[in-house]
A and B are shown apart, each in its own frame.
Chain A
Amino acid sequence: MGLRTSAAVLVGRAVRVAARLRGGGSAIPGNIALKIDPAFLERTIARIPKGVVAVSGSNGKSTTTNMLAAIIRAHGLKVFTNPSGGNLPQGIASALLSEVSVGGHLDADIAILEVDEGYGTRLAELLKPRTVLLLNIQIDQLNRYHEPDRVAAMLGRVAATSTEGLILNREDNFLVDMDTRIPSRPGRAVSFFGGLPELVEPAGHGVASADRFDESAAAPGSRAAAVEVVALNGARATLSIESAVLPSAPDEASRTEIEVRLPSRGLHYALDAAGAAATARSVLGEQFRPELVSEALDTLATVYGRGELLDVAGEQIEIIMMKNPASLQLNLDSLEAAPEQVFLAVDEGTPDPSWIYDIDFSALDHVDGITGSKAWQFAVRFGYLGIPVGSVDLDVRAALKAFLALPKPATGHKVMILNYEQMMLIRKILGFKELEGGGAA
């Protein structure tokens, strides 16, 4: 290993330690390492024996990457993965820094990486994924990508780089026929995941896939699924998994049903689990054991930030992430009753919250407090909806303090609806550790 790599690793590590002490900026060390040795990421990744699995899509990347990593680990492989949200080149380089030796060696059999859809094309060139899992194309962060068609085109380029496996969500308007719209490649196995129509169709706002206006080669739901959600009961789902076709009986594809635990209620989590299982099946081939999926997901800790319960001064507070319209809608739909106490915080991390006029907020009957620089825009929306708003205070600390001071609700728990930036800030204010630490301090 060259001096450049060592220098990149050592400097990157030093910055990483410094950044953690200040309590922020987890991408900064990776950035610096990439400046000292631009090929650091590419070269280290290229030496991983079983290569890279890339997970991308608008929503559910972190959850699914986490699930897939757990399933592959349960099969006995050493997995390198990136922490949730660290899905840009710098974030992946930062994650590498914490695991490589100074010589640049990484002790892993396989890499399972969440990839930002906007950087997908560049990252795919860099990472050369053997397997690609695409989850969905939702109206997500339109401010960054502007149009679902463009996101579809970017994900198509990522899909086209897969050499061994391509796993697609058959319930998504754009992904259901993506295999027919990219150049085919000999040796690439394409498989699908999805849910029974009776689960997918009535599920509140369904899977909230973006509208598509051009010609589609297949209708959503019409492809045969290697893994299918066949039952959903609270935070548990039943997956029906197609076994690899037996050489002795090539037409016989038997199916196994397993029950899995989800991070929280919601069809989207069940589809994430189905996508993770279908990808593990594709990657592991004959070594794949369906029962290990149940085992892995049972022991998997709740993924940071989605449907998470924070313990604050002995009181449980449910965090609902407002990552994009689709995830917010699905999370609102999964509420069992209108929460007794609701707090909302949104700042410029959500530059244009116009889509709140497309969201069905009927799961809420009031909001106690709103904060963040977009607070007044939400207050206007709730005004037109006739949803009473307790108070609006742009001072996050003061607003949070007032909300926490409310007596414990008689039923359920306090609910906070937060965008990513406000979630990070509020965790910090409450004394929770940053991203990689998870859990309470």
Chain B
Amino acid sequence: MSATKSLNILHLFPRLLGLNGEGGNVEILRLRSEWRGLPVVVNEYDGGAPVGFGDADLVFIGSGPVSAQLIAHPLVLAVAAELRELAADDRPFLAVGAGFQLLGQTVALENGEVLEGAGVYPVSTRHGGTRVVGDLVLESERFGTIVGFENRGSFTEVGPHATLGKVVYGRGNSETPGAEGFWEGNLLGTHMHGPILANNPLIADSLLDTARDRRSLQYGDPGSDKLHEIDERARQARGTIAASPLSE
């Protein structure tokens, strides 16, 4: 494979952190690029030497149960410097749930223990409080309605930074619903579990654009009919969820 003519996605800890079909995000990114004529190479990393990290054009890390998060913690710290370097070099990141937390500054567990994060995102997490499980609907200036599903027993402190969107339904980062996630520059983090990109293809395209722009990679094809049809279905899915969101 030629590294110059394909897009490289680094998928961190697919086995440990991929509880809710989150690998779907990587599949969606790959297909959206390949169907437009730009091949994608996925590098799955589950630990060990950080081989090929420097080639990563886009980094994805998913979510998992607390037990998996605790096991992933030292593994994430072992490659923290490499990840911070990629982030500083404008490579787009998508981090979800437990993975997002571990890439932050700190994670305070319910037993009082505080885990040090990889320091990629300027956010901190506090576990505890009531668990919230249900649809999450956001309004974003860039993308309009964003829908997803949250299933979390934690709060995220993002300080003065920009977020993914304003909470219309659900809880989001804080006890009092306000905003959800973190999105500044090339770094996107959220607690929208599962394949967030499935219902929100504009976010997928935005991440791909950031990755392509850095290397001036072009799509060979402006877009396929397949993507058109899928995006129309996703629009219907967003509409259905936003019209009557539910939670436990």
Contacts and interface: CB of A to CB of B under 8 A. Distances in A.
A221 B33 CA distance: 42
B13 to A, nearest CB: 11
A262 B20 CA distance: 31
Interface stretch (A90-98, A159-167, A379-387, A420-428): A379-387
B38 to A, nearest CB: 17
Contact of A384 (B27, B133, B199, B248): B27
Interface in B178-234: 193-195, 198-199, 226, 229-230, 233-234
B151 A384 contact: no
A355 interface: yes
Interface residues of A, number: 32
Interface stretch (B50-58, B64-72, B79-87, B101-109): B64-72
B60 interface: no
Contacts of A351: 133-135, 149, 246, 248
Contacts of B194: 352, 354-355, 357
B193 A211 contact: no
Contacts of A356: 21
Contacts of A375: 240
A212 to B, nearest CB: 8
B248 A376 contact: no
Nearest to A359: B21
Contacts of B248: 143-144, 351
B145 to A, nearest CB: 14
A377 interface: yes
A361 to B, nearest CB: 12
Nearest to B226: A383
Interface string A355-399: 111100000000000000101110111011010000010100000
A354 B230 CA distance: 16
A146 B151 contact: yes
Contacts of B23: 357-358
Interface string A331-367: 0000000000000000010011011111000000000
Contacts of A139: 19
A357 B21 CA distance: 5
Contact of B65 (A147, A373, A380): A147
B22 to A, nearest CB: 8
Tell me what chain A mostly uses at the interface: helix, strand, loop, or mixed. helix
B15 interface: yes
A354 B195 contact: yes
A377 B151 contact: no
Scoring A148, A150, A214, A355 by chain B CB atoms within 10 A of each residue's CB, the highest score goes to A355
A352 B233 CA distance: 17
Contacts of B244: 373
B15 A211 contact: yes
Contacts of B153: 146
A149 B153 CA distance: 15
Given A348-B246, A380-B230, A383-B229, A357 B195 contact: yes
B119 interface: no
Nearest to A383: B230
Given A377-B198, A380-B233, A354 B71 contact: no
B140 interface: no
B56 to A, nearest CB: 22
B246 A149 contact: no
Nearest to A373: B240
A149 B233 CA distance: 35
Given A143-B133, A149-B66, A352-B151, A213 B16 contact: yes
Contacts of B16: 213
A376 B240 contact: yes
Interface string A206-238: 000001011000000000000000000000000
Nearest to B147: A377
B240 A392 contact: no
A386 B27 CA distance: 13
Contacts of B28: 384
B5 interface: no
A275 to B, nearest CB: 26
A383 to B, nearest CB: 4
A148 B240 CA distance: 29
A392 B237 CA distance: 11
A439 to B, nearest CB: 33
Contact of A377 (B19, B66, B71, B199): B199
A143 B28 CA distance: 23
A142 B240 contact: no
A211 B16 CA distance: 9
Given A352-B193, A357-B23, A357-B198, A149 B237 contact: no
A213 B65 CA distance: 10
B65 A149 contact: yes
Scoring A348, A375, A376 by chain B CB atoms within 10 A of each residue's CB, the highest score goes to A376
Given A357-B198, A373-B240, A381-B198, 7 more contacts: A143-B248, A144-B248, A213-B65, A352-B20, A357-B22, A376-B236, A377-B237
6 nearest A-B residue pairs (beta carbon): A354-B194, A357-B24, A357-B21, A147-B65, A376-B237, A383-B230
